[in-house]
Amino acid sequence: MSETLIALLIDAAKAAVFVGVLMAWVAYTTFGERRFASFFQDRIGPNRAGPFGFFQPLADGFKFLFKEDFVPKFADRLLYRVAPVASFVPTIVLIGVIPFGPDLVIAGRRIPLQIADPNFGVLYFLAVASFSVYGVIMAGWASNNKYSIMGGMRAAAMMISYEVSLGLAVVGLILVAGSTHMSTIVAQQDTIGGWYIWQQPLGFLLFFIASLAETHRTPFDLPEAEQELIGGYHTEYGSMQLGLFQMGEFAHMVATCTIIVALFLGGWHFPMPAFITGDPNLYALAGAAVFSVKTFVMIFIFIWIRWTVPRFRYDQLMRLGWKVLLPLALANALVTALVILL
């Protein structure tokens, strides 16, 4: 077997495994969301399916599959079908550049726990993350429903106002790191004191807030405001198409949390005893576990915020995006650049 073929096979296997793991995370994030929401509201939540309700995601999935696949009469059939996929796929593609742990060593071959490490890693994330909004707009348009198109328009407007701040918030970090390689950025944060959240606290805060908006989480879940828009862009959707939208949303959240962890919270770095760091494979697994724990904490914070902070009004959101986050992000980038220059 040629060297290229082996490399290709390894990459394919990695992609399959990572996507599988991501889907498991997505499934259990939906479950976690419901369970944690209940705890925040002094309820118990879904605890019937299996121990502690652990099979609830399976039950939800089967429910979606058994529902009638329905296209409204006046919908744009093609766009209506394409939209869920268009909003789901980019969120999976997002995890392509994230380093989940140190390199595995199998049969003398170093296998980085990262599908691809392009030199535009951070930019790749910024570019792909905004793609999922196309699906949302398509869904809003194709549904031929006033509420849906409102949701789609809101998603578009929000994406424009937040994508800028999201991008500018990482500019400071890129300046400090001197690289847009995800693996390099993570490798630089090998001590807790070296995590970029300490050097870029404002950048982290802005990035975090913009990420909430990016993933359409409360307090920025205007595109799907249940109370005003009856679900917004996916009002007309049912069956697995709705399931795809929801999975896409949760996948987006998980992927965004992994990005935050990788960029600001030191990725898979955490002080570990020498016997773990000595064995590369053990180190890789431990690193991946640390990464998972950090991601879980971020997801928990996302859920925690969702069940605390009420939704912004549309004009408040625009004001926050353009008049607060954008100037702050610019100032952050400017100050960081000045400090580095001096």
Partner 1 sequence: MAVRIPKPKHNFSRTMTFWERLWLPASLRGLRVTLKHFFSRNITVEYPREKPEVAPRYRGLHRLKRDEQGRERCTACMLCSYVCPANAIHVVPAHATGPERELYSEERYAAVYEINMLRCIFCGFCEEACPCGAIYMGREWETADRDLDHFIYTKEMLLEPEGTPLEFTE
Of 25-33, 49-57, 181-189, 303-311, the segment contacting partner 1 by CB under 8 A is: 303-311
Q: How many CB atoms lie within 10 A of CB 224?
A: 24
User: 44 and 52 in contact (C-beta within 8 Å)?
Assistant: no
Residues 312-341 binding partner 1 (CB under 8 A) are 320
Distance CA 187, CA 193 (A): 13
Q: Is 40 in the site for partner 1 (CB under 8 A)?
A: yes
Sorted by sequence, the CB contacts under 8 Å of residue 156 that are 6+ apart come out as 133, 136, 137
Q: Is 74 in the site for partner 1 (CB under 8 A)?
A: no
Q: How far is the CB of 44 from partner 1 (least distance, A)?
A: 4
Q: Is 36 in the site for partner 1 (CB under 8 A)?
A: yes
Q: Is 50 in the site for partner 1 (CB under 8 A)?
A: no
Out of 9, 16, 43, 281, point to the residue binding partner 1 (CB under 8 A): 43
Q: Which residues of 147-158 are buried (b: 16+ CB within 10 A; e: fewer)?
A: bbbbbbbbbbbb
Of the pair 96, 219, the CB lying nearest partner 1 is at 219
Sorted by sequence, the CB contacts under 8 Å of residue 102 that are 6+ apart come out as 113, 268, 280, 283, 284, 287
Sorted by sequence, the CB contacts under 8 Å of residue 83 that are 6+ apart come out as 135, 136, 138, 139, 142
Out of 9, 17, 24, 39, point to the residue binding partner 1 (CB under 8 A): 39
Out of 9, 16, 24, 44, point to the residue binding partner 1 (CB under 8 A): 44
The owner of tokens 């939209």 is: 83
Q: How far is the CB of 49 from partner 1 (least distance, A)?
A: 14
Q: How far is the CB of 42 from partner 1 (least distance, A)?
A: 5
Please provide residue 105's backbone torsions phi and psi, each rounded to the nearest 5 degrees: -120, 110
Q: How far is the CB of 54 from partner 1 (least distance, A)?
A: 17
Residues 158-187 binding partner 1 (CB under 8 A) are none
Please name which of 226, 231, 233, 243 lies closest in space to residue 69, comparing C-alpha atoms: 243
Of 144-152, 184-192, 284-292, 304-312, the segment contacting partner 1 by CB under 8 A is: 304-312
User: 95 and 19 in contact (C-beta within 8 Å)?
Assistant: yes
User: 168 and 122 in contact (C-beta within 8 Å)?
Assistant: no
Q: Is 42 in the site for partner 1 (CB under 8 A)?
A: yes
Out of 17, 308, 327, 335, point to the residue binding partner 1 (CB under 8 A): 308
Q: Is 38 in the site for partner 1 (CB under 8 A)?
A: yes
Please provide residue 40's backbone torsions phi and psi, each rounded to the nearest 5 degrees: -65, -25
Out of 6, 194, 304, 334, point to the residue binding partner 1 (CB under 8 A): 304
- Extract the tokens encoding 238: 């049912």
Q: How far is the CB of 40 from partner 1 (least distance, A)?
A: 5
Please provide residue 184's backbone torsions phi and psi, each rounded to the nearest 5 degrees: -65, -45
**# residues near partner 1 by CB under 8 A:** 14
Q: Is 305 in the site for partner 1 (CB under 8 A)?
A: yes
For residue 159, the SS3 value is helix
Q: How far is the CB of 210 from partner 1 (least distance, A)?
A: 14
Task: Give Dmax (Cα) for the chain.
Answer: 64
Distance CA 86, CA 330 (A): 31
Of 31-39, 70-78, 134-142, 185-193, the segment contacting partner 1 by CB under 8 A is: 31-39
Of 38-46, 57-65, 145-153, 284-292, the segment contacting partner 1 by CB under 8 A is: 38-46
Q: How far is the CB of 325 from partner 1 (least distance, A)?
A: 11
Residues 78-107 binding partner 1 (CB under 8 A) are none
- Chain residues binding partner 1 by CB under 8 A are 36, 38-44, 304-305, 307-309, 320
